[in-house]
Copies of this chain bind each other. A is one copy, B any other.
Amino acid sequence: MEAEATPAVKRLGLQQDDPRIIPGPAPCVTFSGDYEGVAVHVVWTGRDAKHGVDLVGTVPASLATYLALQAWPDADLVISSGTAGGFKAQGAAIGDVFVSTGKLHHDRRIPLPGFDKYGIGFIESLPTPNLQAALGLKAGVVSTGDSLDYTDKDMAVMLDHSVAVKEMEAGSVAWAAQLFGKPLLCIKAVLPRVLEFLGGRGVQDL
């Protein structure tokens, strides 16, 4: 979402790419700059033309990731960042920032051989022991679904994989990054705002 991209854009001193580097009609918006010698690009999926809301969820996220990696084929790392709901059983508390150990989808149930694992789509994240230690970040599995809430079937998948945080994009960002052979990690903050999104259930007692 734009509200998740803007703080990073400001903190890193990036500028919106004008003219666009990713041509339309995909409405994604990109920002670029140099931060301490590292080229950084922030990609926001943009807004839905019909309903005026941010393009959340897996479909726009994978498309934006794919188009961004076409635009910047030399990228060394893809980071899926933003807010998430957290699970107490995996040590999550409001204000925590989690770095991913892996990601999966909790709402793609295809109980046929091979398709089942493809649906879950578990992809390991880039190992980050030094990052975790230096910044005091917690680490865990990030789970993606296209709904703000979850069903019992979603929860069964998340429990089965000891999911730490739940959000709506990382799984498909990782899929697109994997097509290009790019390593990925997720940085997900468990924030009070997510509480509101999840109907007061941002941190779960499991």
Contact = CB atoms under 8 A, between A and B. Distances in A.
Interface of A: 24-27, 48, 50-59, 62-63, 66, 105, 107-112, 114-115, 117-119, 146-149, 151-153, 172, 175-176, 179-181, 197
B58 A59 contact: yes
B146 A107 contact: yes
Q: Is the interface of A mostly helix, strand, loop or mixed?
A: loop
10 contacts: A24-B179, A25-B180, A26-B179, A51-B117, A59-B59, A108-B146, A109-B148, A110-B147, A111-B149, A151-B152
Contacts of A197: 112
Given A63-B62, A107-B107, A51 B147 contact: no
A152 B149 CA distance: 13
B66 A26 contact: yes
